[in-house]
Amino acid sequence: MSRKKSAHAPIRAVENRSTPRPGPACDSLRTYEQFGRLAILEGGLAGSSFVDVNVLANLAQHQLDSDYAENAANLLRAAEHLSFAALAPTHFTPRIPAELKAAVADELDRLTALALQRWSESADAANRKIIESIFESAILEARVAFDRSAYRRSLQMARAAEALAHVTAGLPTTFPSERALIRSLAS
């Protein structure tokens, strides 16, 4: 005797296997994928953006090695946004509708306010001294880019600052292997 499925049988939720479960394994996977994307983007970078991205990537590796995978993922997310900002046009974006410009301005304000609030409210502010100049530069450059109508660059810089604001306790007080980085950048 065969059983037919009822047309009214309960529907079971299908687990999405393409999305990793939250937790340390997810942070590690996210970090691994971000290192790969940064490796691709780095080829187009030069100057201060190259240095900032490399500093964040090296800090991320240090954080990963020190079991701070979430910090590593946020540092790499910031580095990725800085990379996109550096590769985006630095001046006027032609023919953007007024509604889109207003939406960009709103998003820039939201991201900047969120980043500044999270940064200032964190008990880890002293711990983040090592990334403070990159954070401050991203906030400033986001506004400068918007004023120049470089909207993509503006939003990427604001997203980088917002990602850096998520970094918590665990950062070193000085840059790990700073001499090695300076030597590699100088060569």
Tell me what pLDDT residue 16 has.
40
Single pTM value for the model: 0.77
Contact at 8 Å (CB) between 53 and 83? Answer: yes
Tell me what pLDDT residue 38 has.
81
In sequence order, which residues have a C-beta less than 8 Å from that of residue 71 and are 6 or more positions away? 60, 63, 167, 168, 170, 171
Q: How would you write the pLDDT of the chain (187 residues) with one tens digit per residue?
A: 444 444 444 434 434 444 445 566 676 777 788 888 888 788 788 888 898 999 999 999 999 889 898 899 899 999 999 999 999 887 766 778 999 999 999 999 999 999 999 999 877 667 788 999 999 999 999 999 999 999 999 999 999 999 999 998 888 887 765 554 554 444 4
Q: Is residue 31 part of a domain?
A: yes
The count of structural domains within the chain is 1
Q: Is residue 146 part of a domain?
A: yes
Q: Is residue 48 part of a domain?
A: yes
Q: Is residue 11 part of a domain?
A: no
Q: Is residue 93 part of a domain?
A: yes
Domain of residue 102, residue span: 27-186
Q: Is residue 43 part of a domain?
A: yes
Q: Is residue 18 part of a domain?
A: no
Q: Count each helix (H run) and each strand (E run) in the chain, helices first.
A: 7, 0
Q: Is residue 13 part of a domain?
A: no
Tell me what pLDDT residue 12 has.
40
